[in-house]
Amino acid sequence: MRKSVLVAAPILAAVLLLSAGTVNALVYSNVQISANVTQVYTQLSLSSVRYVTTFYNLPDSSFNVSFPRGVQNLKLLSGASNMTILPVAYCHSDPPTQPCMLVRVYGISDGVPIVFTYDFNETYTGGSDLFNTSLNFLPSTFTQVLNITMLLPSTAYLPSNPYYSLNPSSFTSSSGRFSVTWLFANQTAPFLLNNQLTYIDLPFTIEYAGSFRPQPGSAPLSYTEIITAVAVVTVLVGLWLWLMFRRRIVPKKVSRRKKNNSLFSRLLTENEKKVLSAISRNGFTQQSEVISSTGFSKVKVSKIVSKLYKYRLIKIKSNGRQNMLKRS
């Protein structure tokens, strides 16, 4: 559905602009986002974000700016007189029901950058040896230029085949830190949905590995995090005891790999079984072929492949930037 929207958006935008009578009447913006990422503890990242947006063709001196839900410590540094956080709203992005933080900014002018800062915590549970950080860009207008940079922790490095939602423009390393940058021009096209001007939101996600070292003065775990950790440990211990019990009653002639394969196969979801069935037993299958045959997204297939490999149900062989997969 996202692909069809991306194809139709420019056409609808052209019709919309023609009906307005002039291209210059459309409000547009240039946006630069810089996120300084630290690893608070395993699977929890903290991003300190600097968000700079410059508007053009403004109808007046106030405008609404969209931010993802969950943003903390939002501050207006310069470029406007003040701001007001509006009640819980739904931003004019695709999908339009995406809840967001909507901020009304006052005292702004054409061509004058407006500078915000905010913090964003993200918990990731997709892999035991990988970290994750993401930014969800919710456009407030047609975005002429979008530049997003994530500065990763000093111990970070990219796995052989990291996954991300959109191909970055560059990977650079400086002073022991790793920088991932996305740069887009004219990346959001407006289109009409329910007679409202709507824009396409973009998630930016990077998965990376690293030697984890807790940050000094890290905040203590919340009750929710403690309960979650206890629940995970309980499930893992229960699974281990169950596996030990199974090991005793299974005949010795059955290999451990076959036992584990049979066990984990029964624990797979329907989507995971679909990905597994798309991988050949006789030879290696390209991961892109699995994506094509299942119809799943690249991110979804990557997560499932990681789980299947963890369960020893498949083998992975790296072939440049492409993974080659084979059932065990």
pLDDT in tens, the chain (328 residues): 333 333 344 444 444 443 443 344 788 899 999 999 887 776 678 889 999 999 999 989 999 898 888 889 999 999 999 999 987 666 766 555 556 888 999 999 999 999 999 998 877 655 556 677 777 788 888 888 888 888 887 767 666 555 555 677 777 776 667 788 888 787 666 666 666 667 777 777 777 776 544 444 445 555 566 788 888 899 899 888 888 877 665 555 545 555 555 555 566 788 888 888 888 888 888 888 888 888 888 888 888 888 888 878 888 888 777 788 888 7
pLDDT of residue 113: 96
Instruction: Delimit the domains of the chain by residue range.
Output: 2-210, 267-327
pLDDT of residue 181: 85
Span 2-210 CATH architecture:
Sandwich (2.60)
pLDDT tens digits for range 158-178: 665 555 556 777 777 766 677
CATH code: domain 267-327 is 1.10.10.10
- Report the predicted TM-score, pTM, of the whole model to 2 decimal places: 0.56
Which of 249, 208, 47, 185 is closest to 126 using CA atoms?
Answer: 208
* C-beta of residue 288 within 8 angstroms of C-beta of residue 322: yes
pLDDT of residue 150: 86
Q: In whole angstroms, what is the distance from residue 144 CA to residue 91 CA? A: 19
Q: In whole angstroms, what is the distance from residue 68 CA to residue 88 CA? A: 11
* C-beta of residue 294 within 8 angstroms of C-beta of residue 274: yes
Contacts of 314 (CB under 8 A, 6+ apart): 276, 279, 305, 308, 325, 326, 327, 328
**Angle formed at CA 192 by CA 191 and CA 198, multiple of 5 degrees:** 65
**Burial class for 19, CB neighbours closer than 10 Å (0-12, 13-18, 19+):** exposed
Neighbouring C-beta atoms of residue 31, cutoff 10 Å: 24
**Helices 298-310, 270-277: inter-axial angle, 10-degree rounding:** 90
Helix (H/G/I), strand (E/B), else coil: 167: coil
